Amino acid sequence: MKIYHNPRCSKSRETLEIIREHGIEPEIIEYLKNPPTVKQLKAILNKLKLKPKDILREEEILYRVKYASKNLNDEQLLELMAKYPTLIERPIVIEGKKAILGRPPSKVLELIPG
């Protein structure tokens, strides 16, 4: 199991706590320090069965000020998120071929067996 994690985010911390409470120690990817590439984002979105817009943090000031007024396509959004990982919604948890966006954190239970 992998978690794209931001330790400063309460939802991300809660999701990680739920995973650990079930005896799983996931691979923790602090995506602000190690941002995913466009290719990795595409693979993540494929597992989430979502579009780039679905994991875009539109409320971030950077997005609102510089990009909200632009009509960006999926590829441009992916490039933007790879360049500015603060624009990626969190946490994202991956288990095998499945993934969830941990909003709310209890959604991670969908990936935990038993």
Strand 98-101 and strand 92-95: the pairing is antiparallel
Q: Specify the DSSP element, H or E, that contains 3.
A: strand 2-5
Strand 27-30 and strand 98-101: the pairing is unpaired
- Rounded distance between C-alpha atoms, residue 108 and residue 104, angstroms: 8
Catalytic residue status for 26: no
Selected catalytic residue, list 2, 3, 4, 9: 9
Query: In the chain, count of helices (H) and strands (E)?
Result: 4, 4
Which amino acids are annotated catalytic?
Answer: 9
